[in-house]
Structures are given as C-alpha cells and as structure tokens.
Amino acid sequence: MAELTFPNGFLWGVAGAAHQIEGNNVNSDCWVLEHVPDSPYAEPSGDACDHYHRYPEDIKLIASLGFNSYRFSIEWARIEPEEGEFSYAALEHYRRMLATCHEHDLTPIVTYHHFTSPRWFAAKGGWEVMANAELFARYCERATKHLGDLIGVGCTLNEPNVGLLIQNMGFMPPDEKLATAPYRAAAAKAVGSDTFAAFPNCQQGLARDTFLKAHRMAFEAIKARRGYFPVGLTLAMSDHQAVEGGEAVRDRVRHNVDDVFLDVTKADDFIGVQTYSRSRYGSDGTLPAEQGIEVTQMGYEFWPEALEATIRYASSYTGLPVLVTENGIGTEDDTRRLEYVQRALHGAHRCLQDGIVVRGYCYWSVFDNFEWTFGYRPKFGLIAVDRSTQTRTLKPSATWLGNVAKANALSD
C-alpha cells in the first residue's frame, strides 16, 4: 500500500478551548448566559472535562498517542478577572501548562481568545464597541509578556467570523433579533449593566469591525512582547459552492464572511483554517443540505473534501502558509470520524503536492466537550469523557490518528 508522507516538521495536533474543557469558567460571559432564563445554551458547562486541574495527565495522554502539538486557549476571564486587574496565579497556571507541553515534546499552539471574554467586558458592550479592541490588545500584551517564551505558535482570535457564517447558513438569528433577545437583557440585569454583548450571541456586523481592529492591534502587541513565535488569525472557513446560477450570492457571502477577514492577515505569519463542511448557494440564497448527503450531529453535511477547498482558497487569497487549526466531526459513530479525517487528510496532502504550504493539522476536538449552545450532546472528541467520574476513554480514531502522526504518513 502506498504511503502519503507529510513534510518534515509537520505539526500533528489535537485542539481544545478553555471554556469547553476546563470547567467552572465562572467569570466568563458565557457562564452568565448559560444561567439566565431562556438561555440559548442547552445546558450549563459546569465542570466540563475538569481540564483546568487534569491537564498534566491529559497532556501526557495526548503525547503518548503520537501527536507533536497541542492547541489550547488561555482564558481571558481568568487572567483579567476585573478590568485592569491581572491574575498572576492564572498566568502561572498557563505557564505550567506550557511547560508540561514542552516536557512532552508537544509544540503548544496558543489561542488568546476562543469565544469567551470576561463578564465585565460583555457588560461594557464587548465586541460591539470598537474602542474595546484596545482592551483585548492589552490583555494579549500582558499574557505574552508572561508566557511568550514558552509559546510555540500564537492565534489571536478564534473564528471571529463564525457568527456571520452561521447566520448565512440560517443557524443563527439576524442581528436585530440578537440585539433584542430576552436572554441578553436578563444577562445585562444579572451583571448590573444596561448591555451584555457576548460572542457569538451579539450583533455580528458591529463585532466584525471591532474584531478586524483587535486582530491587528493584538498582533502588534504580541510581536512587541517576546512574540518571537509565528502569529496568525484563525477563521471558520466553509467550502462555499455555487449551484444553479448562485455564483453572485456565493461571492457576496464569501466576501462578507471570509475575504474581509483575510484582508487583515496579509502581514501575519500564517492563516489558521478551520473547516467542517460546505455551504451551497443558489440564485435566491443559501440552499439546505443536498438530499441524500449524510448530515452530522451539527445539522450540516458530512463533507470532508471541504478542507482541501478551503486550504486552497485561504492560501491563494493570502499567499500565507496555512495551518489547519481545526477540522473534525461531531458523531456518535467513530468509524464515520475515521473516514472523515482520512478523506480530509487526503485533501490536505493533494494541496501539499501542488506546492501549497501547509504547516500542520489539528483535529477538533481532543475530548467530547461542551459544544456551546448544543451542550454536551455532539461528540467531536477523539477521547470520550465520562463526566460523572472524569474518566477518559480512547476511541479507535485517537489511536489511528496518533499513529498517522507518529509515522508522519497516511496509508493511501
């Protein structure tokens, strides 16, 4: 059987995010929203996977599988619990996590912001207020000063375009509805403010403009403070496909959802591609899933070839090296996961063969975890977690992908 080999130094990782696995992120905006009446969240995040305490064993397990990198996020709500008040203890916690990665020869890929912000930030209007971009840049500066010498790769923001993408897919209400949602008023009341803008449940048009500025400011702040590592932005990238004369609609959506963000990455060191599926457009707008195509637990199509298309698009648009910072599937059936990843990796390999620079691949997610408004139902993990005992159980896909990582090759 032929082997598809990957370049030397290719990063093989698993990914997670603080709020989804650490547990008890009580100072975050998301925690507030999880606990208000009519919450958009199916259930509260609670202890999650207790990764905040269990990271030493978890990181050891990731390394033992054969991976050479781990993508995780540091939590702003812990590092800056009140505006301008930075927690040395929280920063030291993340320093220990980074050191643990190095002890196990894992390159740490650090995301500074993965959706959640401190509750005080949401109470100040969060991402809807342009001036707040500076607060994010200041946090990035402080975090880099404390942690920068141990960071392997840095991602400023995780998917600042995801709200726009899922609005276009019809999975999230339009801005007017988001602005007046009763849960938002309830959250504002809970924190004693007249507003509460938590991402992604906030006005996406306003958030977009703040994010664009915040990314550039954060990039500069990180580079100015021991940021000797590569720094980039990660985007939610769908394979946008036009059918039945839908080219104009497709191009408009792609411009609003992807291109405006790709335009602010030109000076970056890489572009982080995060892909799960495709979106189809006809002349009247977004089309539903095609009949006969399997749908995942998230309600979108099983379409692993989307990764190849998005790597090609991101690379040709920006000219930057690509790092696949997320790719994966929510399914109860681990054999579907295996097929999904195998096909996605074939696509990534075809890109490499065409000379596109792809630096690595991170599977989302390391654990079955808190899938935001869906709660714990979707199963994206390579590792299952019994949340009553916090016992971890490897799925066959974990061992399989770990072996691919060890071999730096995929059997054809």
Positions annotated as catalytic residues are: 159
- Rounded to whole angstroms, the Cα distance separating 283 from 195 reads 38
Give yes or no for residue 371 binding ligand BGC (CB under 6 A).
Answer: yes
Task: Count the site residues for ligand BGC by CB under 6 A.
Answer: 11
Which of 6, 10, 12, 17 binds ligand BGC (CB under 6 A)? It is: 17
- Rounded to whole angstroms, the Cα distance separating 306 from 326 reads 12
Q: Can you give 385-410 as a three-state secondary structure string? A: EECCCCEEEECHHHHHHHHHHHHCEE
Measured from the CB atom, the residue of 162 and 320 that comes closer to ligand BGC is 162
Going 394 to 326 to 23 to 147, the CA torsion angle's sign is positive
Give yes or no for residue 159 binding ligand BGC (CB under 6 A).
Answer: yes
Strand ranges, E, within 159-238: 231-236
Measured from the CB atom, the residue of 242 and 309 that comes closer to ligand BGC is 309
Identify the H or E element spanning 3. Answer: strand 3-5
Binding piece for ligand BGC, criterion CB under 6 A, among 59-67, 83-91, 157-165, 393-401? 157-165
Site of tokens 């189809």: 280
Which of 62, 90, 98, 162 binds ligand BGC (CB under 6 A)? It is: 162
Letters for 256-295 (x = contact with ligand BGC by CB under 6 A, - = none) are ------------------x---------------------
Least Å from the CB of residue 236 to ligand BGC = 5
Binding piece for ligand BGC, criterion CB under 6 A, among 118-126, 140-148, 156-164, 285-293? 156-164
Identify the H or E element spanning 340. Answer: helix 334-353
CB 219 within 8 A of CB 231: yes
CB 126 within 8 A of CB 132: yes
Binding piece for ligand BGC, criterion CB under 6 A, among 39-47, 154-162, 199-207, 210-218? 154-162
Least Å from the CB of residue 44 to ligand BGC = 16
| Burial category of 33 from C-beta neighbours within 10 Å (exposed 0-12, middle 13-18, buried 19 and up) | buried
Which residues from 197-236 bind ligand BGC, rule CB under 6 A? Answer: 236
The tokens for 333 are: 């059936």
Q: Which of 133, 203, 137, 142 is nearest to 167 (CA)?
A: 203
Measured from the CB atom, the residue of 6 and 115 that comes closer to ligand BGC is 115
Least Å from the CB of residue 159 to ligand BGC = 5
Least Å from the CB of residue 73 to ligand BGC = 9
The tokens for 386 are: 């019994």
The tokens for 227 are: 């940021």
Which residues from 103-122 bind ligand BGC, rule CB under 6 A? Answer: none
Contacts to ligand BGC by CB under 6 A? 17, 20, 158-159, 162, 236, 274, 326, 364, 371, 380
